[in-house]
Structure 1
Amino acid sequence: MDDATEVQEYQQMDHQGVNSAFVDDLIAGGTVGPRVIDLGCGTALIPILLCQKQSDVEVVGVDSSVEMLEAARIEIELGSVTGRVHLEHADCKVLEGFQDAAANTVISNTMLHHVAEPARVVAQAFRVLAPGGRLFLRDLVRPATEAEVEALVTLHAEGETDYARQLLRQSLHAALTVAEIADIAAGHDIPAEAIRMTSDRHWTLDWIKPDAI
């Protein structure tokens, strides 16, 4: 979303429930941080919420959209986490300038379906994650039928704008299946058991990278 109008439309959507569930599940599932990288941070609502709930965490939010990052700077100030959430404009398929093993935790929420080559993002997430660190990825799952897509749009985008409904519809069509993300993960020796359905429309990958031998 490099258009200011699109970012404004995005900000008007109700993300609170999804974001809260992401952060709560992340914290409940194990150790987080202290160094966290959020791939596709958008307006940084998840990094902000995470820092508000975990006092010892600092987050680097990465996004390729300048407009999203500009909006994120305002949200960071409003959320009183200035100095703990840092923003980087970068392509998550490359992460140029990020060192290997730079983070104790790498997270991403509903970003992979926006990327034409999601395997490259997963590869970068694996690279910048330190041994013993935690990978926590969540995204939409692609339904098997058009009827299932429409049912999810009706259920979860009721009361939203036409733009929001269409964005969810397109996102569901673009999303990976559990089998597809499992196949990508297998290339990094991440077992299929690390991936599971965690809602009627989301899969979650939660995995600890083995310590270096």
Structure 2
Amino acid sequence: MDRQMEPELMEDPVQVKAYAEADFEIPHQQFIDRLQEFVAEPDFNGAALDLGCGPGDICVRFAKAFPLSTLDAVDGSEAMLEYAKTFTAPIKDRIRLIHGRLPFVILPQQFYAIILSNSLLHHLPDPLALWQTIKRYAKPGTRVAVMDLLRPASREAAAALVETYASHEAEILRRDFYHSLLAAFTLEEIEAQLRETELPLRIEQISDRHVFIKGIIS
């Protein structure tokens, strides 16, 4: 099945509210758990970068996992960042929210020790925007962790995943999940993207719908 792109930014108020209030406890915490295992440095006190932070749930989970860290969190949707302001308010001294689109965003730091991204890749018309931004703000030793959806083999398979994992969610969220699955990349496509950008990252399929990509920049 060919990729079916969806809008890059989530800005409709109803859509944003549904996403911000959805239950992503399991995949979001799994992402943070895998990141902690990869970083293996609970007292990490450097600067991290979250690309595509959405409403801020991952930001808060990262800040709790690494309580000595600071985080610059980027998103192209102002509506999403409004929710993120609320979610991150208790620790706003450690999280800096930044409005901008990849690859054009200009960040306040030249390099970051950790760069993370969850569920952004499939939104991008040009996937290289993510990998090029990572290269731009990484330095030798930067740890990179990216999690995203994988595109199923067919529309029927995508619909089955929606029924399995989102049958209890609002219809607008079920619709968005379905379109996100159609917009996601395959393992082979992600491998080609990494070869083109010469990023030394490893790819692992971690579920029937998720891929985890990690590595240390040399």
TM value normalised by structure 1: 0.91
Given that 1:94 and 1:121 are in contact with CA atoms closer than 8 Å, whether structure 2 keeps it comes out as no
- List, as ranges, runs of 4+ consecutive aligned residues in structure 1 with deviation greater than 6 Å: none
Alpha-carbon distance in structure 2 between the residues aligned to 1:68 and 1:104:
25
The one of 183, 189, 193 aligned to 1:174: 183
Given that 1:153 and 1:165 are in contact with CA atoms closer than 8 Å, whether structure 2 keeps it comes out as yes
Pairing 1:26-65 to 2, within 5 Å after superposition: 26-31=35-40, 34-65=46-77
Pairing 1:1-213 to 2, within 5 Å after superposition: 1-31=10-40, 34-77=46-89, 80-98=90-108, 100=110, 102-191=111-200, 194-210=202-218
TM value normalised by structure 2: 0.89
Alpha-carbon distance in structure 2 between the residues aligned to 1:83 and 1:163:
34
Which is bigger in relative contact order (C-alpha 8 A, separation at least 6)? Answer: 2
Structure 2 counterpart of 1:17, one-letter code: I
Cα distance, 1:94 vs structure 2: 1.9
SS at match of 2:68: coil
Alpha-carbon distance in structure 1 between the residues aligned to 2:14 and 2:175:
15
State the aligned residue count.
206
Alignment CA distance shift 1:6-1:51 (3 Å)? same
| Other-structure match for 2:6 | none
SS at match of 2:175: helix
Alpha-carbon distance in structure 2 between the residues aligned to 1:170 and 1:94:
25
Deviations 1:94-140 (A, max 9, x none): 2224554x101111001111110011221111110121111111110
Alpha-carbon distance in structure 2 between the residues aligned to 1:50 and 1:158:
28
Structure 2 residues not aligned, in runs of 5+: 1-9
SS at match of 2:142: strand
Given that 2:56 and 2:87 are in contact with CA atoms closer than 8 Å, whether structure 1 keeps it comes out as yes
Structure 1 counterpart of 2:102, one-letter code: C
Identical counterparts, % of pairs? 29
Structure 1 residues not aligned, in runs of 5+: none
Alpha-carbon distance in structure 1 between the residues aligned to 2:203 and 2:12:
33
Given that 2:63 and 2:69 are in contact with CA atoms closer than 8 Å, whether structure 1 keeps it comes out as yes
